[in-house]
Amino acid sequence: MGINKKLKHAAAGLASSFVSRNNDVGGYWAPGLLYRDAAAGLTVQLRLTDRTAAPATPAAMLVMRNYAEFLRRALRKHGVDWEELALATVDVRFNAPHTGPRLACGEPFTCTVSLASKADSAVSASATSYCQRYEAGRFTARGGSDASVIAALG
């Protein structure tokens, strides 16, 4: 399998995982926490190769670290070395336009994962779902959650 197919597979896996109901941080759904912290443009960017996030909130930094590790493992499974990547980003746009059927409550959001290799291969994959902004006291944490993580996320 060529590098493009390997990167496309990894990007699709990250995008799918991101909108999954199992994407939680400290027991709360990560997209809801990111939505709460999103900048005025309702966007969040996680730069996995640079290990940065915009905005650089505690929740965004934790999600970025989790997904950087997720990507490392995915690439390793496909025989791609992390050092072959030139760029890896996860762009999340909240309140995004969506024409499909409404499958859940909240507003639509789109997650786009973009990967580029140093050999000039570039791919992206997107997934769309719905979420509500996290509000303290409105949602309960998933069982077995680490209280110290929850407290740090506000």
Q: What is the per-residue pLDDT across 78-129, written as a single tens digit (0 to 9) for each? A: 999 999 999 999 999 998 777 666 666 788 899 999 999 998 889 999 999 9
Per-residue model confidence (pLDDT) at position 2: 81
Interatomic CA distance for residues 90 and 97, integer angstroms:
18
Q: State how far Cα 133 lies from the chain centre.
A: 15
Per-residue model confidence (pLDDT) at position 102: 66
Torsion angle defined by CA atoms of residues 40, 10, 128 and 53, in that order, rounded to the nearest 10 degrees: -10
Per-residue model confidence (pLDDT) at position 23: 87
Per-residue model confidence (pLDDT) at position 3: 86
Predicted structure pTM score? 0.86
pLDDT higher at 96 or 147:
96
148 CB-near residues (< 8 Å, 6+ apart): none
Per-residue model confidence (pLDDT) at position 150: 52
55 CB-near residues (< 8 Å, 6+ apart): 37, 38, 39, 44
**13-29 pLDDT tens trace:** 999 999 998 888 877 78
Strand partners, 129: 109
Q: Is 78 exposed, middle or buried (0-12, 13-18, 19+ CB in 10 A)?
A: middle
Mean pLDDT for 55-73 is: 95
